[in-house]
Amino acid sequence: MHPSSRDAASSVSPEEIARFSALASQWWDPTGPMRPLHAMNALRISWACRHFPMRGRTTRHVRVLDIGCGAGLASEALAKAGHDVLGLDASADGIAAARAHLEAHPLPEGSGTLDYRVGSAEELVEEKAKFDAVVALEIIEHVTDPEAFMKMLADLVEPGGIVIVSTMNRTLRSLAVGKIGAEYVLRLLPIGTHEWRKFLTPAELGRFGREADLRIQALAGMSPSLSGWKESRDLSVNYIAAFRKG
């Protein structure tokens, strides 16, 4: 039986939090265990920003929630792009690393604002917090109940706002490349980072979105290339989706 989206911290898996907390001090090392996230980050951020809603006559200073932000890799990039960002993570170690990196590397002039908070999506829902955009990058495959999690993302975004989700498809290719290849052969990720059965197909993610009053606006594959990660039509491993509320 899945926990309710209103149950305290129901989206948070203690085992997953412990795993990522152990990596917090290495999060910002581009050659360390988070190097796949470093490699794809520019693509994730540019794609997400293209689909953010207008705020006034500009797409700058959109109020963004980066949920499951880890040590702030995406949060900092979103703030540098001019948005006002809250980075949220259940790992105190991850947030401590995020704050330390921000203190050592202040945002450049012209950036948006950036704050961090230790906590869960459920806490923000209870506070009735609302954002123009909610970003959940490589996180939904780690939560306890992805269907309830999508409903919480919908609860946290303003009507007409945008939810961005990136994740991994559950295919034989993703098993070979994203799980066995990345963790056991190439050692790009620590063993145990992913559980292949928890990967979501685009159809499943779309259904969870529809049930949460989120309508898909755009869908793209994310594929590695010699010159960096590129947007593609190949959804068989990594993909990213934009949903509009209402």
Q: Is 137 annotated as a binding residue?
A: yes
Token pair belonging to 167: 């994740």
Q: Binding residue per annotation — 68? A: yes
Residues in contact with 136: Cβ distance below 8 Å, sequence separation at least 6, in sequence order: 67, 68, 149, 153, 163, 164, 165, 166
Q: Which H, E and C letters describe 55-105, residue by residue? A: ECCECCCCEEEEECCCCCHHHHHHHHCCCEEEEEECCHHHHHHHHHHHHHC
CA nearest 114: which of 63, 158, 152? 63
Cβ atoms of 137 and 85 closer than 8 Å = no
132 marked as part of a ligand binding site: no
Nearest C-alpha neighbor of 179 from the set 198, 201, 202, 205:
198
Any binding-site annotation on 44?
yes
Q: Could you tell me the CA-to-CA distances from 226 to 81, 219, 230, 237 in Å, in that order?
A: 25, 23, 10, 17
Give the length of the chain.
246
Share in percent of the chain as helix, strand, coil (round to 5):
40, 25, 40
Structure tokens at 150: 């999508």
Q: Would you list which residues are annotated within the binding site?
A: 44, 68, 89, 137
Binding-site residues for S-adenosyl-L-methionine, in ranges, read 44, 68, 89, 137
